A and B are shown apart, each in its own frame.
Chain A
Amino acid sequence: MALLSLTPFLSLAVFGLLATPAGFLRFRKSKLGLAPFVCILGLAIALVSTVWLGFTSPSPVSFGGLQVDLFTLFFSGVLLIVAIFVTVASLQNMREDPNKGPFFGLLLLSTLGMIVLAASMDLILLYVAWELMSIPTYALTAFRKKDPNSNEAAMKFFVLSALSSALIVYAISLVFGITGSTGLTAIASSLSTAGPDVRPFGVLAIVLFIVGFGVKMAVVPFHMWIPDAFEGAPVTIGAFLASGAKMAAFAAAFRVFIVGIFAFNVDFYSTFAIVAVVTMSVGNVAALMQKSFTRLLAYSSIAQAGYILMALATPFTTTSVPLGLAGGLFHVLNYAILKTAAFIAAAAVATKLSVTDLDSFNGLSRRMPQTSLSIAVIFLGLAGVPPLNGFFSKVMLFTGSIYSPYSWGGYLALAALINSGFSMSYYGWVIKRMYFDEPGDESRIPEPRIYMVVLWAATILIFVIGLYPDPWIRLVQSAAAALVGSRGS
């Protein structure tokens, strides 16, 4: 029966392999072919089994280095929702593309990598999952092979991503050298007794982990590929990178730092605090300066990464469910929904206007009312305006930081609050453009129905989570507890 716990992984693997050949098959009249449906089926089975597992067998099940616990299931739920949104939205912009099979196949395989990443309790498995997640995304970023921007973006993404993989491998080897193990619990018990002579190597490993994960998490100054990649990649893949890959990288960082490295007597919390403040500040300031919508989204996603990093900057005791960590996971959930929806809204605008510079958003509310409304809701959610979902995760993150045993916790919360207020300036600016500025062209633009389905689903979720956050908070609290529980005794 324990094998049932692997259903999400198996479903993604099997359907991922099926999707590519299925791309060559098609219904008689449909342009779409079978690949997207195989893809959605695989994701749906995975999501349903994830939810089912979460309700029926919340106690952790281990398969060597792969651990299926509530933390894993939480992340796989989030990532699968993102993947489903992206797949559905891709039905629209991949309609004319002849290579649907590989596209959806790669999407599934990358998703598989992400959820394995969240399940990894072993560094080798973690690395394999990391690569399984990354390699398909290079191809997906460069999927418009005739578009030089897409190629350039993929190239930059690839170079920096390869660098990050290399750093992670280096960090893993250092940790292995110190502890003689690749399992996270074994590493923890061995690190807690590590002598001062290995200390510099341990510190180096920590830095390399931060940098390696940081590239995908969009940590400043390792974020520079992000605006380029999001702008160059097909828009739905932008959503996939911004919400999927980034959140998976956070999952990896949570596992490695909170289960493994915490035992090492080095204060990496303040490092994360500094990195968090720098990341959110640079992201917010740079976002204000952008003239293109996708670049603005890219920088806002960098700023949001800064907030989530606060969860790693709050140490806690194992006795209670850590508020900051739960807040971080909650923000992961909210951010994933908000950002995916934001990119899909951008896709809706981009496919119809073929540009996404902010001037084309002037008076958009009269041209694309549904898209504009959802962008407004999403932006208010990202800014943390109550009663939308982003508010409560920020409340938890910031309060968690105030509870921090370190005296700088309050200042971290203060910096985040000021940042959060500052971010309202550019979110508000876009809303003002959409609702109060005169459009250059008054004509009504038909809004792609598939995008609207995703946008409305996301908008409703944003309100539901914001108005009744309790079940979601209990979910993230138990996920956080599961993560802390996966520490060795």
Chain B
Amino acid sequence: MASSLIAWLIWVTPLVGALLTPLFAKMHSRVRDVAAVGFTFAAALLAAITALMVSAGDYTVSWIPSLNITAGVLVDPLSLFMANIVAWISLLIMIYSVGYMKGEFGLTRYWFFMNLFIGNMLLLVLADNLLMMFFGWEGVGLCSYALIGHFYRDEPQYWVGSPGDKALDVSEEYSPSKAGMKAFVMTRIGDIALLIAIFLIYAFARTFNYNQLVTQLGGSGSWAANLARLGLLLPTALLFFGGPIGKSAQFPLQEWLPDAMTGPASVSALIHAATMVKAGVFLTGRMGPVFFIALSQFNQVPQFFGVIAWIGAFTALLAASQAAVAREIKKVLAYSTVSQIGYMMLALGIAGLSANFLAGYTAGLFHLLSHAVFKASLFLAAGWVLHVAESRFMDEMGGLAKAMRVTSASMLLAGLSLMGIPPFSGFWTKDAILSVSFLGGQYILYGLALATAFITGFYTVRMLGITLAGKPSKHVEELTEGGKHPHEAGFTMLIPYLLLAIGSLGLGLAYPFYSGPLTTYLASAFSATVYKLPAAYTPTSGLTDLLLLSVSTVVAVMGGVVGYLLYFRKRYEFRTDMNPVQRFLYKRWYLDAIYYKVFVSGLLAASRGLYTYVEQGIWNRLNNTIARDVMDYSRASDQLDTQVVDRAANEVASYGSRLSNFLRRLQSGVTEQYIIAFAIGIILLLAYMLFVVGAT
């Protein structure tokens, strides 16, 4: 009991912390800041204690017995792996926030939503059933929306996009509040798909619980079999994957993440790099094996996992290509995040496509870990860099390395990890993904991933070169002349990103030692009795492995060299006259603009059309023009007749004119139209019931 309480407290603690934030804020701003970090620290400690001391299991309590729904915390390798990543990185980012957000307005709101986010994220990870997972899922979405729009006053320095950026006449500039809305609506599309899938699963399995879903898989009467009989099993799986696509910003719902960079850098690091966007990968990891077993009974595995793998590989390439031309430092990192998550999805997809499920599966999860570490570090450091340069544009930075050696070193370490250079952690995990796709026989996917590796090397070096190396830009020179010299961050900020960067190196150096045990640990979730996965992990022959390692490294280095030749030691100028390829990439393949035109403008136009024609009615509009003339006339005569002093628009003068006025309006046909609509409704209903239903 006590041990299960610890597991519960992991996600409850930050939520309590969030709720107490306004109280602490009343005491003192210092108390509030310290308490906020303290609650996250408590959650991180609890997560570690759970991992070390609490035995794996499903700790449930009764919640809604009338619907056979229980609440519970699932302690298993996957959830602990994820919960510890989330909690510890959250802690570092919260510490960073203390320094980074100092003096900003709305700090109580900031801490409230940060802790609320962390609590919901941990709930998402630790929930033992789809329903509670969905609670957390919605919760992190709401917090993300609120935090993207944190600078809701929409000052220009918090926008994303260059002034005047347009694609197909759609503005590519996003204010914080607009970006928040965009993120919310776009992820919502995926959420609806996910919700439909959850409903379908519940309707057939009558449970939300993961373990019960797995144990009820066998036999011809299982929920999967019943779904499959109706031809719904594959659609359910695909709809379910819609949620991860939206949350993890995969094609075709990838467009919200780059604009979500309007939030503070700490938010970008926490939510849009390290944790929330990984929720999709986590959920795919959670339910992927379940769907694998379910689908394998009906030979539909390749379809589902093929979709995952292809979406992942395509997104990886798409986003990397956009990162290669981006102008803003946070946008480079955002595209890069989308691209790296594409890698993880690719790995999870390959898991189902190859004979060795676990190899792909663990490759995806390992990359999740290493990416969380180095990308959080990069974002936090970038937050400081753009603070120093007082600009979000890379061409207004440059030559910062001289004054900021530690920050630059940290970015370099994390950047090398992102590129996949040995011995950093990113090298091992990315290489694992590349190898499984090659060994799984998916050569086209392997090619796409390899091309992505090349571009990744290029854009990483480009980013480092433009911002840190090279000559200082005019903007930086002006700042220096104005007495604002670039300088290192304070310790509260410096230590988190430095620690993460060193951690990335450390994880890489230690990889050969912990990868085996961690794989075994993660694999232990799939005990043969429950999951019956092709679990044997067979290492490939040394020579093939070595060859694949060197190919991926050489490709990444080549990309890096191209970037080095083009962008180091030069002053970079952003030019608006781009060549067609650059323009195509810079305008985000025109996808954002097309989506906007089709979905936002299109949907609004459709709604407006429906509203005016169906709701207000064509006849209504015709009559209204006549009615308006009559009304104008009567209003004018009212004013003449009664000479009211206060002529506020909504006040009409005397009783007599009021009466006549409303009778006039009644007679102008509004009520008649209602009755006409009424009659039409009755006739339609009657016709339907007599001729369609009655025919039976």
Q: A residues engaging B (CB < 8 A)?
A: 146, 148-149, 151-152, 155-156, 159-160, 163, 199-200, 203-204, 206-208, 210-211, 220-222, 224-225, 266-268, 270-271, 274-275, 282, 285-286, 288-289, 385-387, 392, 395-396, 398-399, 402-403, 410, 413-414, 417-418, 420-421, 424-425, 428-429, 432, 435-438, 468-470, 473-474, 477
Contact = CB atoms under 8 A, between A and B. Distances in A.
Main secondary structure of the interface of A (DSSP, over half): helix
Contacts of B686: 203-204, 207
B674 A203 contact: no
Contacts of B526: none
B661 A148 contact: yes
B530 interface: no
B149 interface: yes
A271 B689 contact: yes
A417 B693 CA distance: 25
B665 A152 contact: yes
Given A289-B611, A396-B67, A417-B195, A200 B690 contact: yes
Interface string B198-233: 011011000000000000000000000000000000
A448 B539 CA distance: 71
B682 to A, nearest CB: 5
A81 to B, nearest CB: 21
A148 B631 CA distance: 14
A-B residue pairs, 5 tightest by C-beta: A436-B152, A421-B192, A436-B177, A402-B203, A221-B681
A224 B675 CA distance: 9
Given A156-B674, A274-B688, A424-B188, A477 B681 contact: no
Nearest to B670: A156
12 contacts: A160-B675, A206-B689, A221-B681, A224-B674, A267-B693, A286-B615, A386-B131, A395-B202, A398-B199, A399-B199, A421-B189, A436-B176
Nearest to B203: A402
Given A163-B678, A211-B682, A428-B185, A473 B64 contact: yes
Contacts of B152: 435-437
A13 B142 CA distance: 47
B675 A203 contact: no
B677 A224 contact: yes
A286 B662 contact: no
B689 A421 contact: no
Interface in B396-411: none
A417 B196 contact: yes
A152 B666 contact: yes
Interface string B655-689: 10011011001100011011101101110011011
Interface string B173-187: 000110011001100
B410 to A, nearest CB: 34
Given A266-B693, A470-B63, A155 B685 contact: no
B584 interface: no
A386 B120 CA distance: 12
B639 to A, nearest CB: 15
Interface string B95-127: 000000000000000000000000000000000
B180 A436 contact: yes
Given A207-B686, A436-B180, 20 more contacts: A148-B661, A155-B666, A199-B694, A200-B694, A204-B686, A207-B685, A211-B678, A211-B685, A268-B693, A271-B685, A282-B614, A282-B615, A286-B611, A288-B611, A386-B135, A402-B199, A418-B192, A421-B189, A428-B181, A429-B181
B589 interface: no
Nearest to B686: A207
A222 B674 CA distance: 8
B153 interface: yes
Given A204-B686, A414-B196, A221 B177 contact: no
B268 to A, nearest CB: 18
Given A221-B680, A285-B607, A437 B694 contact: no
Contacts of A420: 192
A155 B662 CA distance: 9
A266 B689 contact: yes
A398 B197 CA distance: 12
Contact of A203 (B63, B181, B189, B694): B694
B488 interface: no
A403 B203 contact: yes
A220 B610 CA distance: 14
A262 to B, nearest CB: 14
B76 interface: no
A321 to B, nearest CB: 9
B134 interface: yes
Given A159-B671, A163-B675, A203-B694, A428 B689 contact: no
Contacts of B185: 424-425, 428
A392 B63 CA distance: 13
A402 B200 contact: yes
B66 interface: yes
B598 to A, nearest CB: 16
Contact of A432 (B177, B655, B677): B177
Nearest to B614: A282
A432 B181 contact: yes
Interface string B141-183: 0100010010011000000000000000000000011001100
Given A414-B196, A425-B185, A148 B662 contact: yes
B652 interface: yes
Contacts of B191: 421
B65 interface: yes
Contacts of B199: 395, 398-399, 402, 413, 417
Interface in B597-616: 604, 607-608, 610-611, 614-615
Contacts of A403: 203
